């Protein structure tokens, strides 16, 4: 007989109530009702973590630096660029901080990475020779690489690496406020000038552009100097370098 049939049979026999399997202690105090679940308001729920881009972190750190030494410290503490972990040394600006000319080169090469000095090795020696031919000395200039760390194997820097570190270079320029920038190397030219340079009339074959820099009210003149290794191999590049050096000499003479 199924359960329904058993129930009908018990009702016919006079059963008028059902009993639990275990006795109920009706003298014990009733158990308190469970508190209803209350969903936290949306404002109290955990907000998703906000990821600050490396370039913005670099900008904040750079703007807080009020001197070259403070800027160097900020760069050394910056962890937003993985090149810091693969390079041997940080390569920072060297030379005369009050110089009217700031020379900016491509990311450090192996010699610069080992020494921690910009424009080291053969490229630096050829640059010294170029400067000397125009009566200039690197000790009278301020020199810095585009990036403070060498990319592994000397490969070109990625867009992300340049973007992360560029605020430090901009802050360096705004701190020293040179009369003229000299950009040597394709990566330095591309990163500092950007995609929309305003070319002015070049004299003597030396190209110059008006270069806006964050932190400076007015654009700054930038001369494009062939990279020393290129000038060493190509006679045409040496002529362009000589024209740019003559302009650098005039800037130095005017400043002095």
Q: pLDDT of 98-141, one tens digit each? A: 999 999 999 999 999 999 999 999 888 888 888 888 888 888 89
The domains found in the chain, sorted by start residue, are 54-255 (3.40.470.10)
The pTM assigned to this predicted structure is: 0.76
Q: With beta carbons less than 8 A apart as the criterion, state whether 247 and 223 touch.
A: yes
HSE-CB for 71 with a 13 A CA cutoff: 25
Q: Say what the pLDDT of residue 16 is.
A: 67
Report whether pLDDT(78) > 70.
yes
Q: Say what the pLDDT of residue 123 is.
A: 81
Q: With beta carbons less than 8 A apart as the criterion, state whether 106 and 145 touch.
A: yes
Dist. CA 206–CA 120, nearest whole Å: 24
Q: Say what the pLDDT of residue 204 is.
A: 38
> Greater confidence, 69 or 125?
69
- To the nearest whole number, what is the mean pLDDT of the chain? 84
pLDDT tens-digit readout, 221-234? 998 887 766 776 77
pLDDT tens-digit readout, 137-166? 888 899 999 999 999 999 999 999 999 999
Dist. CA 125–CA 228, nearest whole Å: 9
Q: With beta carbons less than 8 A apart as the criterion, state whether 73 and 98 touch.
A: no
Report whether pLDDT(199) > 80.
no
pLDDT tens-digit readout, 170-187? 999 999 999 999 998 889
DSSP structure class, residue 154: G
Q: Say what the pLDDT of residue 205 is.
A: 42
Instruction: For residue 51, name the pLDDT band (cuts at 50, 70, 90).
Output: confident
Q: Say what the pLDDT of residue 237 is.
A: 75
Q: Say what the pLDDT of residue 248 is.
A: 82
> Greater confidence, 121 or 167?
167
User: In the numeric block, which tokens belong to residue 38?
Assistant: 């209350």
> Greater confidence, 171 or 201?
171
The mean per-residue pLDDT over the stretch 63-87 comes to 97
Report whether pLDDT(26) > 70.
no
Q: Say what the pLDDT of residue 245 is.
A: 81
Q: Say what the pLDDT of residue 150 is.
A: 98
């Amino acid at each position: 007989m199924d359960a329904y049939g058993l129930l009908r049979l018990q009702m016919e026999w006079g059963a008028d109530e059902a009993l639990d399997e275990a006795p109920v202690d009706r003298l014990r105090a009733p158990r308190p009702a469970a508190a209803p679940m209350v969903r936290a308001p949306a404002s109290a729920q955990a907000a998703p973590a906000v990821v600050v881009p490396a370039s913005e972190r670099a900008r904040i750190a750079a703007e807080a630096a009020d001197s070259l030494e403070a800027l160097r410290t900020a760069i050394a503490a910056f962890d937003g660029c993985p090149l810091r972990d693969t390079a041997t040394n940080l390569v920072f600006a060297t030379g005369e901080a009050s110089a009217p000319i700031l020379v900016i080169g491509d990311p450090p090469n192996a010699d610069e990475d080992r020494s921690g000095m910009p424009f080291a090795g053969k490229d630096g020696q050829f640059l010294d020779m170029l400067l000397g031919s125009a009566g200039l000395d690197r000790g009278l200039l301020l020199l810095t690489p585009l990036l403070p760390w060498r990319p592994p194997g000397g490969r070109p820097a990625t867009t992300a690496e340049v973007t992360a570190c560029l605020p430090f270079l901009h802050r360096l320029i705004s701190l020293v406020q040179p009369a003229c920038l000299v950009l040597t190397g394709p990566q330095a030219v591309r990163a500092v000038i950007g995609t929309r340079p305003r070319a002015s009339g070049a004299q003597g074959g030396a190209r110059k552009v008006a270069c806006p820099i964050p932190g400076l009210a007015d654009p700054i003149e930038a001369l494009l100097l062939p990279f020393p290794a290129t000038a060493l191999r190509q006679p045409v590049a040496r002529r362009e370098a000589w024209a740019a050096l003559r302009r650098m000499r005039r800037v130095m003479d005017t400043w002095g």
